[in-house]
Structure 1
Amino acid sequence: MHGTITVIDKGPVRIHSYTAPEDGLDVTTQLIETPSRIIAVDAQFVLAYADEVTAYAKGLGKPIDRLVVSHAHPDHYQGAARFGVPVHALPETTAEIVAMGDRTDLPTGAPIPLGDMTPTVEITPGAEIIDGTPFLFEKVTGGEIHTTLVIKLPEQGVLVAQDVVYHHTHLWFLDRDFDGWQANIDRFAAETEYDTILPGHGEPTGPAVWAELTDYVNAGRELLGDDGDAYKKAITARYPTYRGAALIDVANAYMFGPQG
């Protein structure tokens, strides 16, 4: 296996977090194993890593009930068809996925038709009981993207934060929405009943991540000027152990175009 699996036991619920390697942008798919089924959250960027996730899930001996797509960044939905189950998302997320159209699996060049990635079940924020387990679905705005989904498992103290949180991975500042990042950090840091935080990039973590993210957001405010190469050099020097330098490259390409 090229990715990394972290397993967390929470009584009747077990979390299996699959984090892709660097060439898969360190994207994390969550497999939430309830007594009789699996709820998958986010689908991977590279199709081969989506295949790794689904092969692992099959080994758990329970059916995947659904795939939830947290937001409309391709690294979280390109592998959706590999799961072979209904795809759920907020309506705003579905609309953005449709607007972006067909995609390509970068490592292989294989086309990914829009129909393979389009959610078919609309998520309405609120509570849902799935296989006897309470789930809370919340729409969040600002920060990495203007609309995303956060899932809470209140009985287990689990916050499925996805891209509201990166763990020891370089943050995506394409929109330069530092205030939005910080507002979401502060909002969820105040919810101290959640002691297990599942990020969209990187491995599972705990409440210490909120201070780490605040530090990084402040560094981004300070260092992100008008030169992408200079920013990458400065931020990677400040956080030399962080993964996901490729995320900086992708954001820089959008913000600054070709460099030097």
Structure 2
Amino acid sequence: MKPGSDDINTLSRRDLIRTAGAGALAGVGLAMAGTVTSAQERTGTVDVERHSVEMPFPLNAYVVEGEDGLVVVDATLTNTASRELRARVDGLGKPLRAVLLTHPHPDHYAGLGNLTEGLDIPIVSLASVNDIARRDDAEKDAVISSMFGEEWPRNRVFPNDTVGDGDMLDFGPGLRFTVMDVGPAESFHDSIFVLEGSAPAAFIGDLVYSFMHPYMADNTNPEWKRAIGRLRSELPEDMILHVGHGLPVTPAFLAWQEAYLDRFEAAIKAADWSDPETAQAAVVTDMTAFLPSDKLLFFLEQSILPNARRLGMTR
């Protein structure tokens, strides 16, 4: 990788506070996303390369390049995407020291087998992330294998090294991370890997969706909002947050994510659940008014009924 220049991939605090209201924020963010031409940036003296795929839906993994090695964060979903990620790693000519897994959703762990094929390296996660990924894999396999066919990896592997909150991970110069255990949030258990360096940066999985509709079908939105409150108080305001879906952001964007979750819950409560099909359509209409985009819209659609049941609106 070549040394990066100005960071044009990040939706910054400055960009966010220029606008007022969630709808305006969405319009600005989507316009900015359309101007992005690079997926590489510098974090201190470390290169961070975003491996972004669009099929079957927008999704990121990250390659962090230190002085004499690499660390990858998350592993994508499909055979094609994860093999391309491995080819990208091999092309850099430095050894892959480790893979870090942020949370137990299959679009982040399913490609681990292809990414690490033939390598004896640590695949690192919180113990709970590892346990949940293993626990739910058979259920995910039953659903996703029929959806993606030959693109669904059959050689799935799981973390082989677990860590805890506050642990320090050292994989060589430029590849030092601190673990944050977030607990249940977007998924049944989430974590953050904070990259040490002169510029604060962190890999936060799906704790924020960068102007895309989030997956909320795990039905943990109350815990997610509590996690957002914690992160808003603890993360430096100029930290770059590398997200699982979309462009990097700063912690100011956490307020937008919280507003999305609040709007979603309000839309469910406002719908007429005497006709569940009409009620679900009303929620989609309301949320696409809040965020006028179809990116990951099916995540939203999958999330309505579980949350409606939690809120007591339907059985």
* TM bracket, shorter-chain basis: 0.7 to 0.9
Paired residue for 2:240, among 178, 186, 196?
Answer: 196
Alignment of 1:82-121 (within 5 A): 82-84=114-116, 85=119, 86=121, 87-102=123-138, 103=141, 104=145, 106-109=147-150, 112-113=153-154, 116-121=156-161
Q: How many angstroms does 1:170 deviate by? A: 0.8
Q: Choose from 207, 217, 223 the match for 1:180.
A: 223
Partner of residue 84 from structure 2, selected from 52, 68, 86: 52
Cross-structure match for 1:211: 255
Give the structure 1 partner of residue 178 of structure 2.
136
CA distance in 2, matches of 1:228, 1:241: 17
Larger radius of gyration: 2
Matches within 5 A, 1:149-188: 149-155=191-197, 156-188=199-231
Q: TM-score, normalised by structure 1?
A: 0.85
Change (3 A) 1:160 1:238: same
Q: Match of 1:80?
A: 112
Q: Which amino acid aligns with 1:217?
A: L
Unpaired stretches in structure 2, ≥5 consecutive residues = 1-36, 274-278, 310-315
> Counterpart amino acid of 2:265?
R
Partner of 1:16: 49
Q: TM-score, normalization: structure 2?
A: 0.71
Q: Is the 8 A contact 1:17 1:204 kept in 2?
A: no
Between 1:226-235 and 1:213-222, the stretch displaced more is: 226-235
Distance 1:175 1:24, change over 3 A: same
Contact 1:159–1:196 (CA under 8 A) maintained in structure 2: yes
Whichever residue aligns with residue 43 of structure 1, its letter is A
Residue of structure 1 in register with 2:68 after alignment: 36
Contact 2:101–2:125, Cα closer than 8 Å, also in 1: yes
What is the percentage of aligned positions where both structures have the same residue? 19
Change (3 A) 1:154 1:45: same
Q: Could you tell me how far 1:202 is from its partner in structure 2?
A: 1.2
How many Å apart are 1:184 and its aligned residue?
1.9
2:19 counterpart residue number? none
* 1:131 partner letter: G
Distance 1:105 1:205, change over 3 A: farther
8 Å contact from structure 2 (residues 78, 153) kept in 1:
no
Match of 1:71 among 85, 103, 112: 103
The one-letter amino acid paired with 2:185 is G
Conserved 8 A contact 2:216-2:299: no
Q: Report the structure, 1 or 2, having the larger helix content.
A: 2
Q: In the aligned structure 2, how far is the partner of 1:72 from the partner of 1:5? A: 28
Match of residue 245 from structure 1: 297
Q: Quote the offset at 1:69 in angstroms.
A: 1.5
Structure 1 residues 62, 99: closer, same or farther in 2, change over 3 A?
A: same
Distance 1:221 1:253, change over 3 A: closer
**Which amino acid is the alignment partner of residue 50 of structure 2?**
S
- Distance in 1, matches of 2:304 and 2:196, equals 37
Structure 1 residues 256, 184: closer, same or farther in 2, change over 3 A?
Answer: closer
Counterpart of 1:164 in 2: which secondary structure?
coil
State the structure with bigger RCO (CA 8 A, min sep 6), 1 or 2.
2
2:298, 2:193 → 1: CA distance? Answer: 27
Deviations 1:130-152 (A, max 9, x none): 21343101111132123112111
Aligned-residue offset at 1:47? 1.8
SS of match in other structure, 1:152: strand
Q: Give distance in 2, aligned partners of 1:163 and 1:204.
A: 11
Question: Per the alignment, do residues 208 and 243 of structure 1 end up closer, same or farther by CA in structure 2, a change over 3 Å counting?
Answer: farther
